[in-house]
Amino acid sequence: MSKPLISGLSVGDKVSAPFVVTDISLASFRNKPGSYLNLTLKDRSGEIAGRMWDNAEQAAAALQPGQVAMVAGQVEEYQGEAQVIVRAIRPCRPEEYDPADFVITGPRSPEEMVEQLEADIAEVDNAHLHKLLEAVFDDEELLARFSSSPGGKTLHHAYRGGLIEHTLNVVELVKKASELYPRLDRDLLITAGLLHDLGKIYELEGELSYDYSDEGKFLGHVILTDRLLTDKIAQLPDFPQHLADTLSHAVLSHHGQREWGAPVLPSTPEACALHYADNLDARVQGFQQVIDRHGDQPGRWSRYHPYFERSIFVGPAEPDNDDSM
């Protein structure tokens, strides 16, 4: 019997099924002693909040973030949002679930995206940058991780293969920018686009859900990317120092603002173009992900999202008008 997916749950449904459990935390009751358990339950169709009022401490002690757990409870509504009131929860045995129920993938196949990556590399005429790209992506282990890693933990291409998908989108955007602004260094832009998020293969970890690694928490993917590129460039004889500096600058500044995690601000036209291409793809895809997760829920607007600091219009695109009246 197939597992009921989160996207198909409705208020009043009874639940007895496996889910990946993340964001496990205990919170104190306001009006009585003791704690209750806050959870996020996930599968390939989305996520839903979980609350466990009884035996919370014992349940929390038995769970680990990213673990598949058997959950029994009922779907209720709280402040307009569905949540599962958990009656019982325990770690799943391997034979009790199908990993495919929890693996989210994007619309494009890894093979197709790797082919596009190779085509983009072939477009780089600068011999030094071309050799650098080959040195990076000829590493089979690195390429395997790059083509299967997510682009983010929760939003921004947060699924298997999301990192390479986002990377290819950014490269397409900077190519368009170089057509509009022919004084841009196209080879530098394509190279920076292909490499700008490479450190995410070390920043995020997990199979059925994603969280930050120790390296990711200590350094973040921007610094991890720069370290990786510095090591690769050091192995290439006669790589021009100015070219290394401008490439490193574009990578280090691609978040655009220090409060967004950029160690330096974009100070070249190429760095500026990369920042806006990266931000455009991340934001538009994030909006689309909110719309997809809204599904059949009522209302034309999503709930407020702290990440975007707004609610997202989810449609329909035009209101229904009855012209016969």
pLDDT tens, position by position, 182-220: 999 999 999 999 999 999 999 988 877 788 889 999 999
* 298 pLDDT above the threshold of 80: no
Q: What is the CATH number of domain 110-286?
A: 1.10.3210
**pLDDT one-digit tens code per residue, 119-151:** 999 999 999 999 999 999 999 999 999 999 988
SS3 84: strand
- The pair of structure tokens assigned to 186 is 């196209």
In the chain, CATH 1.10.3210 sits at 110-286
pLDDT at 22 over 90: no
Structure tokens at 54: 């009884």
Contact 133, 124 (CB under 8 A): yes
Q: Which residues contact 272 (CB under 8 A, 6 or more apart)?
A: 266
Confidence of residue 324 (pLDDT cuts 50, 70, 90): very low
**Banded model confidence at residue 254, pLDDT cuts 50, 70, 90:** very high
pLDDT interval class at 52 (50, 70, 90) = very high
The separation between the first and the last C-alpha atoms of the chain, rounded to the nearest angstrom, is 49
The neighbouring-strand residues paired with 16 are: 72
Answer whether the bond into residue 240 is a cis peptide, omega within 30°: no
Q: What are the residue ranges of CATH 2.40.50.140 in the chain?
A: 6-99
Query: With pLDDT > 70 as the criterion, what percentage of the chain qualifies?
Result: 96
CATH number belonging to the domain at 6-99, selected among 2.130.10.30, 2.40.50.140, 3.20.20.70, 3.40.47.40: 2.40.50.140
Q: Quick one: angle between helices 127-137 and 140-148, nearest 10? A: 80
